[in-house]
């Protein structure tokens, strides 16, 4: 929760002086990029499951991606109130936006049985499913082989689904806007957590977090917030997790952490594949090579097939491409099966497109709570 004095200033800006804008059907305050939750949205009181379990006076979630928003919904369904979410990135378009058909916007991800079970437990699966593509199987090319191996999924117990990460975020945000406004009272975008510490207020311990956000005329301003309960959901480089780890090492002489460098880093670029007649649009296409270049392609709900080219950061064969002809030659050499499916305008964008980093999947530790 924001401290009393700061909160008053923010609310004054929000409801009196801020210029409102409409972005993809949602209202935002330009000064603080805050989601303005509609007053006529349905209450969560009818949908919350279970009584409050030792609910604190307020809760803060640092990170507004799929993990953070799913956590907010989970807490709201347990009866918790005054939940606030802070996210470093800008808000995504609404789930139904045509922007999701853009193959350059966001990488796709698969929803397996476990992921679908979580969404069903949160009663949000139906909303997400309507924006997913279905995959019936895989088509794989192994290193050194020009023969594809097709596998059609049978008896998996669930239907594999594909959705972009940002679109999943948008679905969860829409769920909150429509059903949980009584409990999830604030979601702030473009707001990065830069510090966290434990402080004593009266007889109680709180987490004090510091955020940087964009103020009037683009100036960076600092905002502090207090909460007795904080969840860090802002990725592998999480500020909250790192703070807990540092605190544990300072408090416990025997607690030490040894980290090893990741020697298998991959980065990526995306571009669309235009499947010819006879190629199935409901498969995951995957080609591995001996040269260290890999390609995976997944479908979207809109029908576009988004290909992700994976390579090491130091691989100049991709990073130093300078023309369409060079890009065409690269695909012809390493992915000849896909080369005819690439349009020149897409190759031109591929050359100019900056390199993106993959999410880092790590053990959630070494400190999980405090």
Q: For residue range 123-152, what is the model confidence (pLDDT) as tens digits?
A: 999 999 999 999 999 999 999 888 999 999
How much is the pTM? 0.81
Burial of 247 (0-12, 13-18, 19+ CB in 10 A): middle
> What mean pLDDT is reported for the chain?
83
Residues 6+ apart with CB under 8 A from 115: none
Q: Token match 């999480």: residue?
A: 238
Six token digits for residue 119:
């969404």
Instruction: Give the per-residue pLDDT at 13.
Output: 30
213 near 31, Cβ under 8 Å? no
Residue-level pLDDT at 361: 62
Cβ proximity of 141 and 290 under 8 Å:
no
Domain locations in the chain as residue ranges? 4-94+168-251, 105-164+265-357
The CATH number given to 4-94+168-251 is 3.50.50.60
Judge whether 4-94+168-251 and 105-164+265-357 match in fold. yes
Residue 79: band (very low, low, confident or very high) from pLDDT cuts 50, 70, 90: very high
How far is it, in rounded angstroms, from Cα 330 to Cα 275? 19
CATH number of 105-164+265-357: 3.50.50.60
The tens digit of pLDDT for each residue in 314-354 reads 999 999 999 999 999 999 999 999 999 999 999 999 999 99
Question: Is the predicted pLDDT of residue 304 greater than 70, yes or no?
Answer: yes
Inter-residue contact 181 to 38 (CB < 8 Å): yes
């Amino acid at each position: 929760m924001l401290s009393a004095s700061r909160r008053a200033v923010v609310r004054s800006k929000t409801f009196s002086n801020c210029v409102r804008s409409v972005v993809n059907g949602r209202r935002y305050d330009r000064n603080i990029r805050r989601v303005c939750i509609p007053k006529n949205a349905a209450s969560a009181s009818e949908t919350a499951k279970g009584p409050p379990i030792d609910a604190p006076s307020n809760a803060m979630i640092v990170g507004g991606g799929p993990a953070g928003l799913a956590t907010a919904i989970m807490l709201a369904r347990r009866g918790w109130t005054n939940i606030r979410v802070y996210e470093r990135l800008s808000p995504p378009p609404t789930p139904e936006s045509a922007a999701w058909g853009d193959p350059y916007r966001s990488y796709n991800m698969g929803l397996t049985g476990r992921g679908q079970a979580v969404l069903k437990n949160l009663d949000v699966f139906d909303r997400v499913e309507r924006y997913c593509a279905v995959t019936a199987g895989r088509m794989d090319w192994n290193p050194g082989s020009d023969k594809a191996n097709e596998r059609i999924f049978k008896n998996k117990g669930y239907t594999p689904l594909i959705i972009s990460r940002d679109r999943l975020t948008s679905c969860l945000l829409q769920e909150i806007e429509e059903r949980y406004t009584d409990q999830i009272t604030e979601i702030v975008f473009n707001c990065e957590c830069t510090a966290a510490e434990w402080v004593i207020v009266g007889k109680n311990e709180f987490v004090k977090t510091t955020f940087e956000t964009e103020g009037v005329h683009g100036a960076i301003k600092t905002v502090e917030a207090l909460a007795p309960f904080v969840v860090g959901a802002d990725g592998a480089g999480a500020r909250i997790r790192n703070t807990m780890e540092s605190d544990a090492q300072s408090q416990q002489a025997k607690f030490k952490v040894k980290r090893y460098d990741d020697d298998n880093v991959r980065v990526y670029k995306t571009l669309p594949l235009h499947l010819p007649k006879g190629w199935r649009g409901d498969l995951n296409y995957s080609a591995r090579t001996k040269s260290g270049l890999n390609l995976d392609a997944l479908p979207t709900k809109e029908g576009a097939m988004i290909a992700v080219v994976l390579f090491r950061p130091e691989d100049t064969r991709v990073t130093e491409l300078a023309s369409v002809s060079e890009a065409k030659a690269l695909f012809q050499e390493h992915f000849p099966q896909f080369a005819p499916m690439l349009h020149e305008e897409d190759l031109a964008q591929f050359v100019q497109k900056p390199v993106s980093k993959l999410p880092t999947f790590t053990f959630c530790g070494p400190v999980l709570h405090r």
